[in-house]
Amino acid sequence: MSDTEKHASGSTVTMDSDGPIAIDPTTERSLVRKQDLILMPGLALAYLTHTLDRANLGNAKTDTLEKDLHLVGNQFSLLLILFYVPYGLMNVPFTLLSKRFNPAVVIPSVMSIWGIMAMASAGTKNFGGILACRILMGCVESAFLPCAIFYCSLFYTRRELSFRVSIFGMMGFIAGAISGLIAFSVFQWHRALNGWQYLFIIEGALTVGIGLLLFLILPHSVQKSRWFSEEEKCVSIARLAQDSQDEDKNFHREDAKVQLRDKITWVYFLMALFYGVGVASSSNFLPTMVKRLAKVPSKSNLYTVGPNLVAAAVQLSTTFLSDHFQQRATIACGTLFVSFLAWILLATLDLVHNVKVGYFLTYLITFGTFTPGILVPVWLSSNTTTTTGRALRLGISFMGQNLAGIISSVAFRAQDAPTYKPALVTVASCQAAFIVVCLSLREYYRRENKKLESGEVVHFSGGKERPEYRYAL
């Protein structure tokens, strides 16, 4: 029978002790629509600036940055490597910090800091100066993605999460296109500063402005926001109760210990490490790889616009299908397989004399390289029922993805230009390893669900004692 029943304006939320929660669909649609209108634009703008400021070094390299800062040998690669060290190691602390103080506070705070660091980079005169700025940027930029996905998991159910994360994740590709256009424009300026300095100042100032705006926009929760009615607040509590065992802001040490001891946590870390190599390689070296297409070096930034826009459309489509069919692993592996083939072809074909074929392959590279970066964290969140455990697992997963940037930076060596064959083979090998591990984990979850269906086990370890709860696949 009913334990709790809430009636208001014709809406009903019924929590039955012997069955699933009944939620009024009209109120639920209104709630989800408001959440989309309030959260998605702010997070999209945040991720736009995150990608602009993180990847602008790749655009700056096509200008006179190396000459002006007197970079020699592999110092540019070292800038990328040392950026990724704090970028990988600080994920867990910031995600747990957002669990304690709320992502609506943490995200705008770190945005303002990394925007200031981006602008400060324009004033550097040597390798040491820009290295210091990049390391500090790496520390605070590491917070955004795990905190943003954790934030969304506090508003959306696991059946809705993939497409929502993709909406603001798509802005990474839009940022790649915008950054190329901005870089091409400012690199034509002949004023007091160099083009790459204007690039850093413009993109950094944009970040600070949006960060300050998000302090005012992002709600801490549905319950604490004035934008939602009492009925919608009740529905929100009921919806999230189906996915999470706790919704408080306290850090639960025992939940964290359970996740650290769970081998699945480290399988997610390994998968993130594997797909992260391709993500970092595409983000940081795409302008460099297409540079040989352009007679004027600055035009290489324009050639990155097309692949980024195509990737945005593909990611939106695949994540929509992922939510519709409730399939994470197969769609992540399917799209990545296309990119895997492209990396192999890019490494093996003679593209020095067939640059147009090489440019077509860059479209295939961006086609699926980034999709696992959306679906795997969502998959992880869907299968972690405590908010402390979810925050910790997301932090560890993104630590793997970001540390993969070190592998990418080491692989793309100056002496291997312009083909970078060893690096391309490294990326393809990591993507192949991801596909194997990802499909193996899906099979593990499928077998566990079969045990739940047959009654062989009552509920999964660390999860809820709800007979209808199943692992997401």
3-state DSSP helix/strand/coil % of the chain, to nearest 5:
75, 5, 25
Residue 4 confidence (pLDDT): 39
Domain membership flag for residue 4:
no
pTM for this entry: 0.83
Task: Give the H/E segment covering residue 202.
Answer: helix 195-217
Residue 376 confidence (pLDDT): 95
Residue 7 confidence (pLDDT): 40
Domain membership flag for residue 12:
no
Domain membership flag for residue 470:
no
Number of domains, the chain: 1
For the chain, count helices (H), then strands (E).
19, 3
Residues of the chain with pLDDT under 50: 1-12, 17-18, 462
Domain membership flag for residue 239:
no
Between CA 267 and CA 254 the distance in angstroms is 20
Tens of pLDDT, residue by residue over 87-116, are 989 999 999 999 889 999 999 999 999 999
Residue 183 confidence (pLDDT): 83
Asked if residue 278 lies in contact with residue 369, where contact means CB atoms within 8 angstroms, the answer is yes
Between CA 230 and CA 233 the distance in angstroms is 5
CATH of the domain at 327: 1.20.1250.20
Between CA 298 and CA 290 the distance in angstroms is 11
Domain membership flag for residue 465:
no
Residue 379 confidence (pLDDT): 94
| Domain around 284 | 32-220+252-454
Residue with tokens 């309030």: 38
CB neighbours of residue 316 within 10 Å: 17
Residue 3 confidence (pLDDT): 42
Domain membership flag for residue 15:
no
- Per-residue CA distances from 467 to 21, 74, 387, 452, 459 (Å): 13, 56, 21, 8, 7
Domain membership flag for residue 303:
yes
Ramachandran angles phi, psi of 419, nearest 5°: -90, -30
- Per-residue CA distances from 448 to 257, 286, 396, 443 (Å): 22, 41, 23, 9
DSSP annotation of 429 reads H
Can you spell out the DSSP letters for 356-382?
HHHHHHHHHHHHHSSTHHHHHHHHHHH
CB neighbours of residue 424 within 10 Å: 25
Residue 459 confidence (pLDDT): 64
Q: Strand pairing partners for 16?
A: 2
Residue 292 confidence (pLDDT): 60
Asked if residue 69 lies in contact with residue 132, where contact means CB atoms within 8 angstroms, the answer is no
Asked if residue 146 lies in contact with residue 380, where contact means CB atoms within 8 angstroms, the answer is no
Domain membership flag for residue 111:
yes
Helix (H, G, I), strand (E, B) or coil at 154: coil
Residue 185 confidence (pLDDT): 86
CB neighbours of residue 417 within 10 Å: 12
Asked if residue 79 lies in contact with residue 130, where contact means CB atoms within 8 angstroms, the answer is yes
Asked if residue 84 lies in contact with residue 410, where contact means CB atoms within 8 angstroms, the answer is no
Within 13 A of 351's CA, how many CA atoms are on the CB side? 27
